Amino acid sequence: MKFASSYEPGDFEADIYAAWENSGVFRPAPYVEGEKAYSIVMPPPNANGNLHIGHGLTMAIEDSLVRYHRLRGESTWYFPGADHAGFETWVVYERNLEVTGHTRFEYSRDDLYAKVWNFVQEQRGNMEKQVRALGTSCSWDDMTFTLDEQVVRRVYKTFEQMWQDGMIYRGEKLVNYCPKHQTAFADIEVEHEDEKGKLWDIAYPFADGTGEVVVSTTRPETLFGDTAVAVNPSDSRYDGMIGAMLRLPLTDREIPLVADEHADPEYGTGAVKITPAHDYDDFEVGIRHDLPRIRVIDDSGLMTGCGEEYDGMTTAECRKLVLRNLKEMGLLRGEREIVHAVAHCYKCGTVIEPTLKEQWFVDVKRLADAAIREINADKIKFFPASKKKVLVNYLKGLKDWNISRQIPWGIAIPMFKLAEPGATLPDGTPAPDWVFDERTQLTEIERGGARYVRDEDTFDTWFSSSHWPIVCTDWEAQNTGAHDLNPYYPLNVMETGADILFAWVARMIMMGVYVTGEVPFREVYLHGLVLDEHGQKMSKSKGNVINPIELVSKYGSDAFRLGILRGRSAGMNQAFSEQSVVSGRNLCNKLWNVSRFIQQLVDENENGDETVHTFNAGEDWICREIDEARKLLEKQMKEYRFSEAVETLYGLLWDEYADWFVESQKIYKNVPLLKRTLEAVLVLMHPFAPFVTEAIWQNLSWTEGMIITASWPERLKYDPISAEEFEKIMEVVTEVRSTLTAIPGGKKWPMLYGDDSLVDDNQVLIQYLTRVPLVTSCEDQPRGIRVALANREVYLDVPEDVVAKYASALEERILAVGRELDGLNARMMNPRYVDKAPAALVEETRRAIEEKTALIERLKLERQAI
């Protein structure tokens, strides 16, 4: 006997995964022109990291989809990946470096790159192992690392195209700058948090001594960078003063009072100091009024150019000193508590210093407009649908994208700067300041006789990862000529977390449309966050992090997948607990034991004793149920309704297959059908529980090949009338069971029946399922308690004294049926219902009324008898 009495996932999973992987089934079946292909990419987990619960959900969803489509015979391609995770990895590495007493500034970029490369290689491997442990059936041969040569090549090509299209520019703009990591960020990488702060009022006297303007600010230390004070043009308090010069306290500079809409008369004093080099709004004001930009905070976050007294201080130290000095001078006029949003580095929490820097920007307008056009033309279907609006709304307001980072770990920006400004080419024309060149391994190149030096920045990781569908499907190589040569691009679906809709999904769409002219995927499924069992966000500091791999080793991969998908719907943040995994484990064990039992029956009947009989033991009924479940699953998979799909499978296996059909088959065995139906159930469950279904498939004596490449069940044939009949038997059984429990004493009583061929034909089955001691005809002499079945005469042979004890249960039953009947009657009495509702519905109501009326009459008779 190959089947142990319970399913032990640890005994099978590793071997099964290896068998799948070695047999090559993870690779797509050769694509046949005109047939269906199915492609999906894995959002690449950090190459040197470990999987967290979100990855667990991603893999569960994606692999279920992939296995489902593979079973349906589609050429299915699931592309795995590993992310160099530019900034994330760099932060980890830099911390390690600091522990050894070194800093990044001791090394060249190329050295650092090599060091991090080695670091990642040493750390690498866990992630891939964990992806395998989750059962992910991706095509490992096509594993792509985000720093692989073909990725870099593709990114450079796009960048060059954008450069030529005039969409890339280098600009001195305010960028989000983290003084700790000393790099700039895109807007999306900055986290805003409401914080308590103070708003100070500071007097700026007029240069001519005729008075003063009091400004309100949260950042007094940036005063040294002020180049104007602005008031609202409509603010009558400042009539006639616009254009006057003010003396900037603590300095010997004079700055103008300007009128600008930016100043809100309602806020503070209505006057705002303008520091174009350190504030986004002020930068804009500065452009409007042609103001100079003075940097007073350097790249390390220290004060600079403010005079000896202040230079070299941190911003906090400087703020204190400035306030003290202003107070002594009598210029500090007020101070109040406020709450305002402060930007933080998403990695270290350091306050982001908006800083004036030269950076590479992508002019996103053209990209965003094209993306919006495709999205609005419904070229991409969103799950949940509401994300479409959210995304369009985001794209509409998108500002130019800063793509350069001052960290060494990443793809080098392929731009070189003219070494000697103003140099001319041999033909006398001025040499361009910047040239594109892919030879980023060189620090210096020569172009047209001029010398150029490499830009030391690297790309924002989202710039390269926005190419992911293009790179994974090798779009370029496949599409040199005609456009639709590659059946795997666009991807069928992009599955990822709703939290990176903007950072990643939006950019993939923009880039896909720009590079290929086509959206990169036809559907987007976004999952929500996995929260802890109390609905709290998981975090290390809260200590409520659940490790998916631990759950896998404790309960099995399938249990984890079933558990995490249970109750999961698109876009929703949802609580998750170990309990749901336990429930998944139980399901696997149930499936295992059903299979074990059926194998036993097969073994016992292997000598051809597979009699086909005339009794109805649910054969047609189970075929119908399996068929219905199959159709339902197909619909649910198409609509990404995982919660319901898992429900469907639970119901099919547990309630229908095991509790009714297999139970019934203990009386009348139809071995060929047991085999066929078990196969169908296994295949239907395979996408969600790949290991246990494969383990069973391998253990069963009659199955061939591997279930992973089996075929999705065909339509099962059944006689609908016979299926209905079994349902009637189920009704009898359920009602008898229920009545038995309602009778005080907890005893099983014999069952009697009147003139009833259905019961007559299925006596043995009914007796087995109800566990009554006897089922026999009452031969026109009914006695005992009549079971509440409308069109059937079924009795429990209970002595008079026990019948009397049943009275209260009967009374309750009469009331319940009465309430139902009242509801139905009320509906029927409404002439507009009869008039307007669909005829079939009205007819159904009519029939229900008839049935309930008959039932209640009989129950009342019964009551009288007692």
Partner RNA sequence: GGUUCCAUAGCUCAGUUGGCUAGAGCGCACGAUUCACAUUCGUGAGGUCGCAGGUUCGAGCCCUGCUGGAACCACCA
Min. distance of Cβ 170 from RNA in angstroms? 21
Min. distance of Cβ 828 from RNA in angstroms? 10
- Would the CA dihedral through 352, 303, 267, 233 be positive or negative? negative
Query: How far, in Å, CA of 228 to CA of 292, rounded?
Result: 9
SS3 call for 574? strand
**Amino acid at site 377:** A
Query: How far, in Å, CA of 556 to CA of 864, rounded?
Result: 58
Residue 249 or 408 with smaller CB distance to RNA: 249
Min. distance of Cβ 56 from RNA in angstroms? 16
Does residue 196 interact with RNA by CB under 7 A?
Answer: no
Does residue 443 interact with RNA by CB under 7 A?
Answer: no
* C-alpha neighbours within 13 Å on the C-beta side of residue 342: 16
In order, the DSSP letters of 411-425 are PBP-EEEESSTT-B-
- Choosing from 242, 572, 667, 814, the residue that interacts with RNA (CB under 7 A) is 572
Which residues in 613-642 contact RNA (CB under 7 A)? 639, 641
Residue 434 or 597 with smaller CB distance to RNA: 597
- Choosing from 123, 325, 547, 583, the residue that interacts with RNA (CB under 7 A) is 583
Torsion of CA 475, 478, 479, 480, to 10 degrees: 120
Torsion of CA 413, 415, 418, 421, to 10 degrees: -70
> Which of 24-32, 44-52, 257-265, 504-512 is the region at the interface with RNA (rule: CB under 7 A)?
257-265
Cis peptide upstream of residue 490 (ω within 30 degrees of 0): yes
Does residue 838 interact with RNA by CB under 7 A?
Answer: yes
Helix 13-23 with 126-133: angle, nearest 10 deg = 100
- Choosing from 118, 573, 611, 701, the residue that interacts with RNA (CB under 7 A) is 573
**Amino acid at site 694:** E
In degrees, to the nearest 5, what angle opens at C-alpha 823 toward C-alphas 821 and 825? 70
Min. distance of Cβ 213 from RNA in angstroms? 12
Does residue 156 interact with RNA by CB under 7 A?
Answer: no
Min. distance of Cβ 324 from RNA in angstroms? 20
Which residues in 804-833 contact RNA (CB under 7 A)? 820, 823-824, 827, 830, 832-833
- Choosing from 714, 836, 839, 864, the residue that interacts with RNA (CB under 7 A) is 836
Residue 238 or 360 with smaller CB distance to RNA: 238
Does residue 670 interact with RNA by CB under 7 A?
Answer: no
Residue 584 or 713 with smaller CB distance to RNA: 584
63 close to 139: Cβ distance less than 8 angstroms: no
Residue 309 or 639 with smaller CB distance to RNA: 639
SS3 call for 58? helix
Which residues in 488-517 contact RNA (CB under 7 A)? 499, 502
Name the percent of the chain in helix, strand, coil, to the closest 5: 45, 20, 35
Does residue 575 interact with RNA by CB under 7 A?
Answer: yes
> Which of 137-145, 291-299, 571-579, 602-610 is the region at the interface with RNA (rule: CB under 7 A)?
571-579
- Choosing from 67, 154, 467, 590, the residue that interacts with RNA (CB under 7 A) is 590
Query: How far, in Å, CA of 494 to CA of 506, rounded?
Result: 11
Min. distance of Cβ 70 from RNA in angstroms? 24
Does residue 611 interact with RNA by CB under 7 A?
Answer: no
Does residue 280 interact with RNA by CB under 7 A?
Answer: yes
* C-alpha neighbours within 13 Å on the C-beta side of residue 603: 12
Residue 272 or 431 with smaller CB distance to RNA: 272
> Which of 105-113, 206-214, 592-600, 626-634 is the region at the interface with RNA (rule: CB under 7 A)?
592-600
- Find residue 191's DSSP bridge partners: 344
Q: Which of 533, 540, 538 is nearest to 576 (CA)?
A: 533
Does residue 70 interact with RNA by CB under 7 A?
Answer: no
Does residue 571 interact with RNA by CB under 7 A?
Answer: yes
Residue 279 or 460 with smaller CB distance to RNA: 279
Does residue 650 interact with RNA by CB under 7 A?
Answer: yes
| Rg, C-alpha atoms of the chain | 37
Q: What stretch of H or E contains 362?
A: strand 353-362
Residue 626 or 824 with smaller CB distance to RNA: 824
Does residue 413 interact with RNA by CB under 7 A?
Answer: no
Q: What stretch of H or E contains 196?
A: strand 190-205
User: How far is Cα of residue 735 from the mean position of the Cα atoms in its chain?
Assistant: 44
Which residues in 94-133 contact RNA (CB under 7 A)? none
> Which of 65-73, 121-129, 206-214, 272-280 is the region at the interface with RNA (rule: CB under 7 A)?
272-280
Helices (H), 298-364: 315-328
- Choosing from 580, 616, 677, 767, the residue that interacts with RNA (CB under 7 A) is 580
Residue 568 or 630 with smaller CB distance to RNA: 568
- Choosing from 121, 251, 539, 741, the residue that interacts with RNA (CB under 7 A) is 741
Does residue 233 interact with RNA by CB under 7 A?
Answer: no
Query: How far, in Å, CA of 120 to CA of 113, rounded?
Result: 10
Helices (H), 658-719: 663-665, 671-685, 690-699
Min. distance of Cβ 27 from RNA in angstroms? 33
Residue 443 or 573 with smaller CB distance to RNA: 573
Question: What residues have CB less than 8 Å from 457, skipping those under 6 apart?
Answer: 359, 360, 404, 405, 406, 412, 413
How many residues in total does the chain contain? 866
372 close to 395: Cβ distance less than 8 angstroms: yes
Pattern 390-409, RNA, x by CB under 7 A: x--xx--x------------
133 close to 12: Cβ distance less than 8 angstroms: no
Residue 635 or 715 with smaller CB distance to RNA: 635
Query: How far, in Å, CA of 475 to CA of 39, rounded?
Result: 12
Question: What residues have CB less than 8 Å from 806, skipping those under 6 apart?
Answer: 742, 743, 744, 785, 798, 866
Does residue 841 interact with RNA by CB under 7 A?
Answer: yes
Does residue 579 interact with RNA by CB under 7 A?
Answer: yes
Which residues in 337-396 contact RNA (CB under 7 A)? 338, 340-342, 384, 386, 389-390, 393-394
Which residues in 766-785 contact RNA (CB under 7 A)? 771
Does residue 187 interact with RNA by CB under 7 A?
Answer: yes
Residue 594 or 683 with smaller CB distance to RNA: 594
Does residue 190 interact with RNA by CB under 7 A?
Answer: yes
